[in-house]
Amino acid sequence: ARGKQSIANIQDFTARIDTKTSSVNKLFADTVLYDSIKSAVTELKSTIEKANDFANNINVFSKNLSTASDKLSDTTNTAGILLNDKQTAEDIQTTIQNLKAASKKLDEDLEALQHNFLLKGYFRKKNKTQQ
């Protein structure tokens, strides 16, 4: 029974191939359709390859981002210390404040030097040459 059914199916399929209006006949006989399908399959393969490459790049980027994040949390490197160590942050803030104060003091000292009787002549000459 199965053999007869298989033979009937093969005969039906063969009849469809021979019928010019059937899609099976068009698939086998129409070279334009065949070339179009072949081109579509080739483009699909290319798209899949590009998608795989993109996924791999995303995976690498994700791993790199994770590594960078781990380093920022690690207090054994400079970036990690700057971001996570409260004492270092306070020390840096104190250093900046000291630099600002020293800069202000230096400006005041330079201003005082310009009015010192020993250096007053030097600064007058310098101002005249700059004008």
* Half-sphere CA count of 38, side-chain side, radius 13 A: 8
Q: Is the pLDDT of residue 131 over 90?
A: no
Determine how many CB atoms are found less than 10 A away from the CB of residue 95.
Answer: 10
Instruction: Convert the pLDDT of each residue in 37-93 to its tens digit.
Output: 889 999 999 999 999 999 999 999 999 999 988 888 888 888 888 888 888 888 989
The pLDDT value given to residue 50: 93
Name the token pair of 92.
């840096």
Cα–Cα distance for residue pair 51/58, rounded to 1 Å: 10
Backbone region of residue 116 per phi and psi (left: phi > 0; alpha: psi in -120 to 50; beta: other values) = beta
Cα–Cα distance for residue pair 98/92, rounded to 1 Å: 10
Mean pLDDT of 111-122: 80
User: Which residue type is seen at 116?
Assistant: N
The pLDDT value given to residue 84: 84
Q: What percent of the chain has pLDDT over 90?
A: 29
The pLDDT value given to residue 75: 82
